[in-house]
Structure formats: structure tokens, C-alpha cells
């Protein structure tokens, strides 16, 4: 524990591969299964939520117990409605060489920003679990729908932000973050269900370990268009990919759950995923557009949030702000035309 090493077979109880499922499950629920699996084999994993355990799905197995005045050996903490205080406690626990986590909604990460910053400054591997990660909250409205929080976390030096696209990426994220010795992690998860991708058809979720990877690709030659996304929006890109591919376009979909992990990869790998010669690019994320120009270039298109959200059912909110496969297809066609690719040329 003092050397921040993991016990042998620490991940033996991890969930098996989640099968393809169009309805799927929320990434917070898949993460919950991985968290409990880790807790069974890493007895110094401790943590809790800022009075949101039922919503953020971060409970530990019953045998872990609850920390209280009567049980100082309990491993689950009821922090109460105090994100800042929770994050300070998590940092203290991490400095003692325990492996702690704290959890709340992504919008409330702002309350804990200074201790999160300190965890990065001190290079301690605190685990920050943030759920309800986008305008996908629907009726909770703009007060609870995070827009600028992802960009803010990504701007913090030393913090690794991971936003998985489905259940299998969520489990892989735990395999990655538990091995980090000096980097805190912000694990960003959905409230709503997201499709579990068919990994026999698309690339394995292990690609998350490198921050970004080619999830779906053209069958012949180099792509002429690249769709880049994270989280729940990856499934939307897959929907657009299937339609454009059926029309004869050469399209690649890149899942990019972690900018920071991708930045650590050799330049050769990064250019393999995002070939410099392919300038027709579209990024899709239900958050601030800030920063995505790094990956799409000055001539690429960014589908993102330029305002606060809105209170309405999930599907209505997505349509309002352009987060549908149909909207992505339209923007993609514009990109192909802009960069001199005639629509449907590959099919002919």
C-alpha cells in the first residue's frame, strides 16, 4: 500500500465483456460494477459521495462497512452535501497512501475545484467520479447540465480526464486509473443509458488505454472524413458512420475518451489515428467546444455547446442542440464538400 502497488489478481472479479445492446446501460452503472470488483481485492480502496450515492452509483460491497464514530474500519464515507470538504478529505486519505475516491455530479465539480487542483499539484492518485455528465440530464435543466466543466478539467495540468463511451470503456477506465501512481483521475460518466457497442464489429474497448483509438473505419483505403467523439456522443457518430458508409463515403470514427492519455502516445500513433492528410473532420461532444480545434483543425467542424442547456426530455434537448446522427451526417457532408470530396463518389 505504501508503494502504491496493487495486490496480485486485483482485477480478477471485473465484469466480463458487456454484450452488444442497443439500449445498453449508463456508464455510471457499468463503472459501479468495476468499482465493487476493485473494492473486493484492494482493501485500502475507500471513498464515498457528497450525499449522492444513489445517483452516482459509487457504493461499496456490504462487507466494506460504513465509516462512523462507531466503526472506524468502515470504508464507505457519507460525506454529506459538501463537495469541497469531501475533496479535501479525499486528498488527506490519499496522502496517507490509501486509495480514495469522491463522487458528485459533474456540475458540482466546481465546488471541489481547488482540492482537485491540489491533488494534481501534489501528484496524488485521487479518484474523482463525476456523473450526470452532459445536457443529457434532460428535465433537470441548465442549472444541472454541465457545459464548461469538461474543458475546465482538461485544462488542469496533471489531471487525467476519462469520459467512456459505453459499458466496456467504463470498465477499461478502471483498469487504467488503478495503475496510476502520481496522477489524479476525473472519471466522467453518464446518467442516461447509452448503447453498448458491438465489439465484434467495432474495435475493442482496450483502445481506451491509449486515450483515443480507431473505433470504426473505412473498409478500403484511407478515410476521407474523421468523426471524433467521447462519451455518449460516440454512439451518435456510429449512427452517422453507418449512414455515410452506406452512401459510399470513406469514414473513420475515433473514440477519444481521454485527451491526456492520447497526448502521452508517440507521435506516430497519434498520426496513425488522426492522419494529418485527412482534413475533413467533425468533433461531437455535449460540452463546450473549447479545445476541440486541436483535433479538427481550423477547417474542421465542431458540434458542441455554445450556450447553456435547456429543460426538456433528453431526445428533445439533443435535437435542439444538434446531437443526432442526422445532424452529424449533414455537417459531415458539408465537410466532405469543403475538402473536395464529392458525396457518394466512393460508391460509384
83 is a catalytic site residue: yes
* Alpha carbons 121 and 115: distance in angstroms, whole number: 9
Pairing of strands 213-216, 251-255: antiparallel
HSE on the CB side for 256, CA within 13 Å? 25
Q: Do the Cβ atoms of 177 and 162 come closer than 8 Å?
A: yes
Phi, psi angle pair for 317, to nearest 5° = -65, -45
Sole residue written with cell 453518464: 190
Listed in sequence order, the residues at least 6 apart from 92 whose beta carbon sits closer than 8 Å to its beta carbon are none
Q: Do the Cβ atoms of 257 and 206 come closer than 8 Å?
A: no
SS3 state of residue 214: strand
DSSP string, 254-275: EE-S-HHHHHTS-HHHHHHHS-
CB-based burial label for 73 (10 Å; 0-12, 13-18, 19+) = exposed
- Residue 100 pairs in a beta bridge with 46
* Alpha carbons 175 and 273: distance in angstroms, whole number: 22
Catalytic option among 53, 63, 83, 233: 83
The catalytic residue positions are 83
Amino acid at each position: 500500500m505504501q508503494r502504491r502497488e496493487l495486490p496480485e489478481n486485483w482485477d480478477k472479479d471485473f465484469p466480463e465483456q458487456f454484450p452488444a445492446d442497443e439500449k445498453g446501460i449508463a456508464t455510471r452503472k457499468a463503472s459501479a460494477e468495476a468499482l465493487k470488483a476493485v473494492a473486493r481485492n484492494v482493501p485500502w480502496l475507500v471513498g464515498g459521495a457528497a450525499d449522492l450515492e444513489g445517483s452516482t452509483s459509487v457504493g461499496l460491497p456490504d462487507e466494506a462497512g460504513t465509516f462512523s464514530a462507531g466503526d472506524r474500519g468502515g470504508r464507505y464515507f457519507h460525506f454529506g452535501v459538501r463537495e469541497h470538504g469531501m475533496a479535501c478529505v479525499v486528498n488527506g486519505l490519499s496522502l496517507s497512501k490509501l486509495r480514495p475516491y469522491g463522487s458528485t455530479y459533474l456540475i458540482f465539480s466546481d465546488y471541489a475545484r481547488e482540492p482537485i487542483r491540489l491533488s494534481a499539484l501534489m501528484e496524488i492518485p485521487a479518484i474523482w467520479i463525476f456523473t450526470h455528465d452532459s445536457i443529457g440530464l434532460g428535465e433537470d435543466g441548465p442549472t444541472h447540465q454541465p457545459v464548461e466543466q469538461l474543458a475546465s478539467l482538461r485544462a488542469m495540468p496533471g489531471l487525467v480526464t476519462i469520459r467512456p463511451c459505453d459499458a466496456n470503456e467504463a470498465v477499461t477506465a478502471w483498469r487504467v486509473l488503478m495503475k496510476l501512481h502520481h496522477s489524479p483521475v476525473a472519471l466522467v460518466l453518464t446518467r442516461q443509458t447509452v448503447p453498448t457497442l458491438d465489439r465484434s464489429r467495432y474495435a475493442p474497448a482496450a483502445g481506451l488505454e491509449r486515450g483515443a483509438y480507431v473505433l470504426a473505419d473505412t473498409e478500403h483505403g484511407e478515410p476521407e472524413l474523421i468523426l471524433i467523439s467521447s462519451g455518449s456522443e460516440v454512439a451518435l457518430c456510429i449512427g452517422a458512420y453507418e449512414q455515410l458508409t452506406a452512401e459510399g463515403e470513406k469514414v473513420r470514427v475515433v473514440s477519444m475518451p481521454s485527451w491526456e492519455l492520447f497526448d502521452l502516445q508517440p507521435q506516430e500513433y497519434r498520426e496513425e489515428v488522426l492522419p494529418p492528410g485527412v482534413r475533413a473532420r467533425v468533433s461531437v461532444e455535449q460540452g463546450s467546444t473549447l479545445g476541440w480545434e486541436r483535433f479538427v483543425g481550423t477547417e474542421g467542424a465542431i458540434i458542441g455547446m455554445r450556450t447553456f442547456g435547456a429543460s426538456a426530455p433528453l431526445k428533445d434537448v439533443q435535437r435542439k442542440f444538434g446531437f443526432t446522427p442526422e445532424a452529424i451526417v449533414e455537417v459531415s457532408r458539408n465537410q466532405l464538400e469543403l475538402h473536395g470530396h464529392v458525396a457518394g463518389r466512393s460508391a460509384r
